[in-house]
Amino acid sequence: MKLVYYKKKLLNICNWFALSIACCVMTPVSVFSQDCPQPRNIKSAPETYLKMTSPLKSSPNDISEGRDLYMEMTESLACVHCHGPKGDGKGELGIDIEPPPRNFTCAETMKTISDGQMFWVMKSGSPNQLMPGYGGLADEALWKIISFVRTFAK
């Protein structure tokens, strides 16, 4: 009887040990491979958009107006709820979304996304990836948000 008890206990300890090792190994792997560089599921913008570059000089004023829209726009769901206050894609809604929102702090991924690609994605959205469209905003407002978004990877 006693022996069975000890065997069980030993088995429990072994399981616990195996589980903690698995967690230690797997957590960093999944966190790093998902976060940066980050896989992009959104398709490429039409050629006319891809070639566009921002008409703004990204002055401190543009960036600060872009920040206000990103953080607290009320016309539509503000970007911050998904892409997060730090731009890492971990907003309170972002953490539950699959695929996860873009991590704007990852320079390696962000440098592959042109101004025109961002502009198109924000204008039209990408329903398959739960990225909403912001076509209701003026073009200038979208470019200001882009100026701000670019600051996360600098």
123 scored as a contact of ligand HEC (CB under 6 A): no
Q: Binder to ligand HEC among 62, 106, 143, 145 (CB under 6 A)?
A: 145
Which residue, among 77, 65, 48, has the nearest Cα to 143 in the 3D structure?
65
Of 2 and 74, which CB lies nearer to ligand HEC in the complex structure?
Answer: 74
Least distance from ligand HEC to the Cβ atom of residue 27, Å: 21
101 scored as a contact of ligand HEC (CB under 6 A): yes
d(CA 42, CA 101): 10
In one letter, which amino acid is 58? S
**Secondary structure of residue 57 in the 3-state scheme:** coil
79 scored as a contact of ligand HEC (CB under 6 A): yes
Whole-Å CA distances, 147 to 33, 54, 60, 67: 27, 8, 9, 9
117 scored as a contact of ligand HEC (CB under 6 A): yes
Q: Is the dihedral of CA 99, 104, 110, 113 positive or negative?
A: positive
Q: Cis link prior to 99 (omega < 30° from 0)?
A: yes
Of 63 and 145, which CB lies nearer to ligand HEC in the complex structure?
Answer: 145
Least distance from ligand HEC to the Cβ atom of residue 38, Å: 7
Residues 7-46 that bind ligand HEC (CB under 6 A): 40-42
82 scored as a contact of ligand HEC (CB under 6 A): yes
**Secondary structure of residue 128 in the 3-state scheme:** helix
Structure tokens that stand for 54 in this block: 């921002």
Residues contributing to the site for ligand HEC (CB under 6 A): 40-42, 77, 79, 81-83, 93, 97, 99, 101-102, 113, 117-118, 121-122, 129-132, 134, 145, 149
